[in-house]
Amino acid sequence: MKILKKSVALIIIFTVVFTQSIFGEEANTASQFSDLSESHWAYEEIEKLVDAGIIAGYPDGTFKPEGNITRAELIKIVNLIYSYADKQETANLSDIRPEDWFYDHVLIAQKAGYIIGFEDGTFRPADDITREQLCKIIDTVNGLMELPFDETPTDEVSAWAVEYVERVLSNRIMSLEEDGSFRAMEKATRAEACDALSKFLLPDEEDASSSQVVPSGGGGTSSGGETENSDEKDEVDETMSTVIKRLKNGVIPELTTDEQVEIVNDIILNMEKYQADNSYDYKSAAEEAYNKYKALSDEERSELKEKIQLKNSTGDLLDLKEFFFPEVDI
């Protein structure tokens, strides 16, 4: 089972000035940037990362939303969003040196398993990230599963990147242009990177207790402190706690009707009660939530399902499917 992770991204620059301007200690808000108005299509997503201290603007007061982002910059963002910290012992990449400011971030990214390097043994830190490369990182970090999606890009996607682009599109993390193109081989902009990666960043919240019991597919209680499958239960418990956090902080704020919010709160309460006591009848509670879901309009159901899928990895939703809508395809 894949445990839900937090999100993707990284920012790096060619000089110390750039590094300080993007990841400077000085607090910024999106509204302070002279070239970024609230009408910008990615304003809220940029603001989310800026407020979290993941990305900042330039010394001249701009953000440069249409500027590009390098491979080194992107891995730093990813490491920050996902709170990756463990390092690989050596980089094993010919163009990475210990004195590089991004050296530790490369070690962290390699340890996390989402960066390997090119066939010639290089990392190419100063190269701008392309949209299809961004898709591969997002897919690798989150372990995406392909969802039903009947559209394909009308323009070219590199053969190696097709599967990653398809999964990112089907999970509604990035989208096609109005003409059906994806511009896979074009460089990703800072705004586009913020838009995609902000979906995985949630506000800090006290972690749920790790001492709770989790479902094992049945609904009964284990006898006498049985520890069978305890590692798997710990994984499921961690997944459940993270999904609860994402529903509270990521899904509910974006819902448009009180009925949708009520259903998600019912799902959260169901999981929390089961965590506290795994003899709790979560299946009956899930059925009640599902009946409320069926009473929604087609549009409300579609929106609710999409928001839940967008904010969580498909693998985690499948693991916890019985707590959501058992009869609905994920």
Q: How much helix, strand and coil, in percent to the nearest 5, is found in the chain?
A: 50, 0, 50
What's residue 329's pLDDT?
Answer: 53
Can you tell me the distance from the alpha carbon of 306 to that of 297, in angstroms, rounded to the nearest whole number? 14
Quote the radius of gyration of the chain (alpha carbons, Å).
Answer: 21
What's residue 316's pLDDT?
Answer: 74
Q: Spell out, as residue ranges, where the chain has pLDDT lower than 50.
A: 1-27, 205-228, 330
End-to-end CA distance of the chain: 16
What's residue 206's pLDDT?
Answer: 39
Instruction: Report pLDDT digits (tens) over 4-19.
Output: 332 222 221 122 222 3
Can you tell me the distance from the alpha carbon of 210 to that of 5, in angstroms, rounded to the nearest whole number? 16
What's residue 11's pLDDT?
Answer: 21
Other residues' Cβ atoms within 10 Å of the Cβ of residue 3? 15
For helices 131-142 and 71-82, angle between their N-to-C axes, nearest 10 degrees: 30
Q: What are phi and psi for residue 293, nearest 5 degrees?
A: -60, -40
What's residue 1's pLDDT?
Answer: 32
**Residues ≥6 apart with Cβ < 8 Å to 175:** 169
Instruction: Report pLDDT digits (tens) over 22-55.
Output: 333 344 566 689 999 889 999 989 999 998 889 8
Alpha helices in the chain (DSSP H): 16-23, 43-51, 71-82, 103-112, 131-142, 162-170, 190-197, 230-246, 258-276, 282-294, 298-311, 314-319
Which tokens is 128 given?
Answer: 């701008």
Q: Is the dihedral of CA 117, 119, 124, 127 positive or negative?
A: negative
